Amino acid sequence: MIMWLNRFWLLSCVVVVHLSGRPVSGSGEFYTAGVAEFRPAVFGGSSEQLLEDNLNGYLELIAGANGTSDILVFPEATLNSVLQLTAVPEQTEHSLCEAHEGDDPRVAEFLRRLACAARDARTYLVVNVKERAEEHATASTDRGYNIYNTNVVFDRQGAVLSRYRKWNLYLEPLTNRTQTAELATFRTDFGVTFGHFICFDMLFYTPAQELVDRLGIRHVIVTKMFNSELPFLTASQLQQGWAWANNVTLLAAGASMPLAGISGSGIYDGQQGALTRIMVSHRAEGQRQLLLAQVPTDGSQGTSTPTEEEESPSTVQLKLLQQPDIGSFSTWALPLVNGSAASKRLCQADLCCDFQLSWNLLGAQAEYHYRLGVSVAERRYEQEQYSSIRVCGLFACRDDSLESCGLLSNQLEGHGGGVEFTSLRISGEFVKRPRRLLMPNTLTYGLYALQPSEVAWTMQEVPANDSHTHTQLELRQPQRQLLTFALYGNYFEEFASNGVAAVWRGMLTLCLLLAISMHLPILCNSF
Per CB under 6 A, the list member of 338, 458, 498, 509 interacting with ligand NAG is 338
Q: Total residues at the site for ligand NAG (CB under 6 A)?
A: 29
Using CB under 6 A as the binding rule, whether residue 467 contacts ligand NAG is answered as yes
CB of 414 to ligand NAG, least distance (A): 16
At 385, which amino acid appears? Answer: Q
Between residue 160 and residue 199, which ones bind ligand NAG under the rule CB under 6 A? 173-174, 176
Residue 178, burial from CB neighbour count under 10 angstroms (0-12, 13-18, 19+): middle
What are the start-end ranges of the E strands in 297-418?
Answer: 321-322, 330-333, 340-348, 351-361, 369-380, 386-397
Using CB under 6 A as the binding rule, whether residue 138 contacts ligand NAG is answered as yes
Using CB under 6 A as the binding rule, whether residue 21 contacts ligand NAG is answered as no
Per CB under 6 A, the list member of 40, 75, 241, 270 interacting with ligand NAG is 270
Please identify, using beta-carbon distances, which residue of 87 and 361 lies nearer to ligand NAG. Answer: 361
Please identify, using beta-carbon distances, which residue of 301 and 315 lies nearer to ligand NAG. Answer: 301
Please identify, using beta-carbon distances, which residue of 91 and 138 lies nearer to ligand NAG. Answer: 138
The DSSP bridge pattern shows strands 419-431 and 465-475 to be: antiparallel
Question: In terms of Cα–Cα distance, which of 236, 241, 170 is closest to 437?
Answer: 241
Using CB under 6 A as the binding rule, whether residue 16 contacts ligand NAG is answered as yes
Widest CA span of the chain, in angstroms?
76
Per CB under 6 A, the list member of 299, 306, 434, 463 interacting with ligand NAG is 299
Please identify, using beta-carbon distances, which residue of 121 and 320 lies nearer to ligand NAG. Answer: 121
Residue burial 379-402, b: 16+ Cβ < 10 Å; e: rest: bebbbbbbbbbbbbbbbbbbeeeb
Residue burial 33-62, b: 16+ Cβ < 10 Å; e: rest: bbbbbbbbbbeeeeeeebbebbbebbbebb
Question: In terms of Cα–Cα distance, which of 378, 384, 388, 356 is closest to 472?
Answer: 356
Please identify, using beta-carbon distances, which residue of 21 and 105 lies nearer to ligand NAG. Answer: 21
Q: Which of 97, 130, 131, 166 is catalytic?
A: 166
The SS3 of residue 112 is helix
Cα–Cα dist 19/339, whole Å: 43
CB of 142 to ligand NAG, least distance (A): 5
Q: Is 414 left (phi over 0), alpha (psi -120 to 50) or beta?
A: left
Using CB under 6 A as the binding rule, whether residue 365 contacts ligand NAG is answered as no
CB of 363 to ligand NAG, least distance (A): 6
Using CB under 6 A as the binding rule, whether residue 313 contacts ligand NAG is answered as no
Per CB under 6 A, the list member of 33, 61, 65, 482 interacting with ligand NAG is 65
Please identify, using beta-carbon distances, which residue of 69 and 228 lies nearer to ligand NAG. Answer: 69
User: Is 116 part of the annotated catalytic residue set?
Assistant: no
Asked if 495 and 378 count as a contact pair (C-beta separation under 8 A), the reply is: yes
Q: Which of 97, 130, 182, 199 is catalytic?
A: 199
At 212, which amino acid appears? Answer: V
User: Is 166 part of the annotated catalytic residue set?
Assistant: yes
Between residue 243 and residue 262, which ones bind ligand NAG under the rule CB under 6 A? 247
Asked if 391 and 442 count as a contact pair (C-beta separation under 8 A), the reply is: no
Q: How far is CA 199 from the centre of its chain?
A: 6
Question: In terms of Cα–Cα distance, which of 318, 305, 423, 419 is closest to 361?
Answer: 419
Of all helices (H) and strands (E), which one includes residue 49?
helix 47-64
Please identify, using beta-carbon distances, which residue of 68 and 157 lies nearer to ligand NAG. Answer: 68
Q: Is 165 left (phi over 0), alpha (psi -120 to 50) or beta?
A: beta
Cα–Cα dist 79/52, whole Å: 9
Using CB under 6 A as the binding rule, whether residue 227 contacts ligand NAG is answered as no
CB of 67 to ligand NAG, least distance (A): 9
Per CB under 6 A, the list member of 363, 458, 501, 508 interacting with ligand NAG is 363
Using CB under 6 A as the binding rule, whether residue 297 contacts ligand NAG is answered as no
Using CB under 6 A as the binding rule, whether residue 267 contacts ligand NAG is answered as no
Using CB under 6 A as the binding rule, whether residue 509 contacts ligand NAG is answered as no
Between residue 88 and residue 117, which ones bind ligand NAG under the rule CB under 6 A? none
Using CB under 6 A as the binding rule, whether residue 511 contacts ligand NAG is answered as no
Using CB under 6 A as the binding rule, whether residue 465 contacts ligand NAG is answered as yes
Using CB under 6 A as the binding rule, whether residue 301 contacts ligand NAG is answered as no
Which single residue brings its beta carbon nearest to ligand NAG? 139
Per CB under 6 A, the list member of 66, 179, 180, 460 interacting with ligand NAG is 66
Asked if 302 and 295 count as a contact pair (C-beta separation under 8 A), the reply is: yes
Q: Please spell the DSSP secondary structure of 445-511, one letter per residue.
A: TTS-PPPTTTEEEEEEEETTEEEEEEEEEEESS-BS-EEEEEEEEEEHHHHHTTHHHHHHHHHHTHH
User: Is 344 part of the annotated catalytic residue set?
Assistant: no
Using CB under 6 A as the binding rule, whether residue 327 contacts ligand NAG is answered as no
Per CB under 6 A, the list member of 90, 102, 105, 141 interacting with ligand NAG is 141
Of all helices (H) and strands (E), which one includes residue 431?
strand 419-431
Please identify, using beta-carbon distances, which residue of 261 and 452 lies nearer to ligand NAG. Answer: 452
Cα–Cα dist 292/290, whole Å: 6
List residues binding ligand NAG (CB under 6 A): 16, 18, 65-66, 68, 138-139, 141-142, 146, 173-174, 176, 247, 270-271, 298-299, 338-339, 360-361, 363-364, 429, 462, 465, 467-468
Q: Which residues are catalytic?
A: 76, 166, 199
